[in-house]
Amino acid sequence: MHCPGCGQQQISTETKFCSRCGLPLGVISEVLAYGGYLPQLAELNRKKTFFNKKNGVVLGLFWFVFFTMFMTAFFGILGAPEEFVGILAVTGVFGGLMTMIASLIFLPSSKKFVPNTFQPPVPSQMQGFGQQHNQSALPPQQTMPAASYAVPQAGNWRDTNDLQPNVSENATKLLEQDETVQIKNGRD
């Protein structure tokens, strides 16, 4: 099996994490074991119900429009008693409102929430090549005591006087020479 993240070949299909990039390989090996199919996903898809919050709100809106606008106009045109038309209007308004409120309170959500169940392993639980490692995630701290530092030998120091001066230093020196020449000429 190869890691889909970096392409590193794994020693075993039972490897939990890629040795190069650390990608969790548990799900990938499970997909390979079931032939590209995860049984958990089939169970999530099977639990779909028709009665959910979204469908309840749509039913409430349909109820409101049907009874309040369509049925009252229809029976008003036919000449039904005004009390009956009023009852249809009240039934449409309050029935639709109660249906929407009840569906928002009591019905399950139409969206599936799948929590992130990935938890990185604790280093003491990680195994590599069949051996138990008792190392922490980082290597041990390496320090060098200050006493081990020594002053370099005289030959190791580079004398900065032998460095070539840069352009600004040359320009400064020339300006200083001009000033001294002008001062001398001014005294004479």
Provide the 10 A C-beta neighbour count for residue 88.
22
pLDDT for residue 41: 72
pLDDT for residue 129: 45
Ramachandran area for residue 52 (φ above 0: left; ψ -120 to 50: alpha; else beta): beta
Measured in whole angstroms, the distance separating CA 69 from the mean position of its chain's CA atoms is 47
Angle (nearest 5°) at CA 104 between 101 and 107:
120
Residues in the chain with pLDDT values less than 70: 42-48, 112-137, 149-167, 187-188
pLDDT for residue 130: 47
pLDDT for residue 97: 94
- Domain range annotation of the chain: 1-48, 53-106
pLDDT for residue 61: 95
pLDDT for residue 12: 76
pLDDT for residue 87: 94
* Nearest alpha-carbon partner for 113 in 44, 43, 54, 57: 44
